[in-house]
Structure 1
Amino acid sequence: MKKLEIRNKHLALRKSWSQEEWQLRNEQLHQLVVSYLDSLPKGTTVLSFQSIVEKREVATQAIHETIVNPPYEFQLAFPRVEGEGKMSAYLVHEKSTWISSAWGIMEPDPATSEKIEPMEIHVVLVPLIGFDLQGHRVGFGKGFYDRFLSQCNPDCLKIGLSLEGPVQQIDDLHALDIPLDVVISSERLYTIH
């Protein structure tokens, strides 16, 4: 399938879910994510994202609240779009404030957060609309994550979060698409080889 077909199909599917089904999928995903992250050492730096729950995206707030507290005690960073097509990462803490982007995504305020280099990040939780079993993802088509992931340490763990299962194959890949290492859906974990 082509990315546009996958995007349209999955966005329509999300709209068809009841509030209860969407919540259940998020609860199941939360359990699988924190279980998977349990093996990582304290102090791991994780880049995550603020979801737009009105669009039925993966609800990341519960994951964030879990992984910054014991026993995890991870450092949590979030993306901020700065300039044409460039995404930066900012470590946040309890006094960090947030600014709404042009897309309605909450981003860290640079005045109250610490900018870090992509090479300092150990794990990236990647938003997606769809994925295939080869680790390729369908996002919203802007390429921010692929450009950012290309700057990360090769050992950085790239984890996609999905409320749906995979498609067989994404047909229209771009040369700059960065495959994921793992995708965690609400039903199971997919390790990409």
Structure 2
Amino acid sequence: MAEYRGNKEFRKKIRQDILKQRRVIPVEDSFQAGLNIVKVLRGHEFFSSKKIVASYISTGGEISTAPLNDYLLDAHDLILPYININVKGSMDFYSFKKGDPLIENRFHILEPENKQENLIRPDLIDAIVVPLVAFDKRGNRMGMGGGFYDRMLKKVSAECLLIGVAYDFQLIENVPTESWDMPLDEVITPTTHFVFNKKWP
């Protein structure tokens, strides 16, 4: 129990330190970092054909996903997360097209409308761009602690490509993991493309 408590406290400290750094990043730097992410995806073999790709609306100093989402709207089928407030840790993905409305949820994050006809089954998703607080060189990811993505990543197919996007300073030596944590296949930073588990020919 003491080990688990220490692990929990360590995760909390990492989150605090990285979120503090992230919050002071200028908007223009965040946007430029997002452009750098798109450059990698444009040259990525996995995305050479049209895919159903899950992304998200960046917030709180995260790398701007505006350039990424514009690219996905043009070249692929973009889907965005919707948090189900009635079920703890539950999140679904809904298709999103240019001009569709976005609604602010209780976490002050913009989401698509939860129209049943736009709901996308997890097994149909080809790739998920995953937000994160920290990652290591083994593909371990630390999120915000809500468990939304860990639960979703257990529902997708084994072929679904899991890509984290992060600033370079979000790379740490060792992410403390729990049994429910889901590792990533790749992480893209503004300067480096990490591949931990290759899922394309």
Q: TM-score, normalised by structure 2?
A: 0.84
Residue aligned with 1:169, SS: coil
- Take 2:117 and 2:159, find their aligned partners in 1: how far apart are those partners? 25
Tell me which of 86, 100, 105 is aligned to 2:109. Answer: 105
Q: Per the alignment, do residues 24 and 147 of structure 1 end up closer, same or farther by CA in structure 2, a change over 3 Å counting?
A: same
Q: Per the alignment, do residues 181 and 18 of structure 1 end up closer, same or farther by CA in structure 2, a change over 3 Å counting?
A: same
Q: Per the alignment, do residues 76 and 21 of structure 1 end up closer, same or farther by CA in structure 2, a change over 3 Å counting?
A: closer
Q: Which runs of 5+ in 2 are unaligned?
A: 1-6
| Aligned match of 1:191 | 195
Residue aligned with 1:155, SS: coil
Deviating 4+ runs (over 6 angstroms):
none
Q: Per the alignment, do residues 113 and 164 of structure 1 end up closer, same or farther by CA in structure 2, a change over 3 Å counting?
A: farther
| Aligned match of 2:66 | 61
Comparing both chains, which one has the higher relative contact order based on Cα–Cα distances under 8 Å and sequence gaps of 6 or more?
A: 1
The answer to whether residue 180 in structure 2 is matched with residue 176 in structure 1 is yes
Residue aligned with 1:68, SS: helix
Cα displacement (A) at 1:6: 1.9
Seq. identity, %: 26
Cα displacement (A) at 1:179: 0.3
Contact 2:164 2:188 in 1 (8 A): yes
The answer to whether residue 93 in structure 2 is matched with residue 89 in structure 1 is yes
The answer to whether residue 17 in structure 2 is matched with residue 17 in structure 1 is no
Contact 1:95 1:112 in 2 (8 A): no
- Take 1:19 and 1:75, find their aligned partners in 2: how far apart are those partners? 26
Contact 2:34 2:67 in 1 (8 A): no
- Take 2:27 and 2:111, find their aligned partners in 1: how far apart are those partners? 26
Contact 2:34 2:66 in 1 (8 A): no
Q: How does 1:14-163 map to 2 (within 5 A)?
A: 14-36=22-44, 39-42=47-50, 44-52=51-59, 55-69=60-74, 72=75, 74-82=76-84, 83-84=86-87, 85-111=89-115, 114-163=118-167
Opposite residue 49 of structure 1, the aligned amino acid is Y
Contact 1:34 1:63 in 2 (8 A): no
Q: Which deviations, in whole Å up to 9, do the C-alpha atoms of 1:124-166 show, x marking residues without a partner? A: 0000111111111111100000000100001100000102241
Q: Per the alignment, do residues 38 and 100 of structure 1 end up closer, same or farther by CA in structure 2, a change over 3 Å counting?
A: same
Contact 2:131 2:166 in 1 (8 A): yes
Q: Which runs of 5+ in 1 are unaligned?
A: none
Greater fraction of residues in helix: 2
Q: TM-score, normalised by structure 1?
A: 0.87
Cα displacement (A) at 1:19: 4.4
Cα displacement (A) at 1:80: 0.5
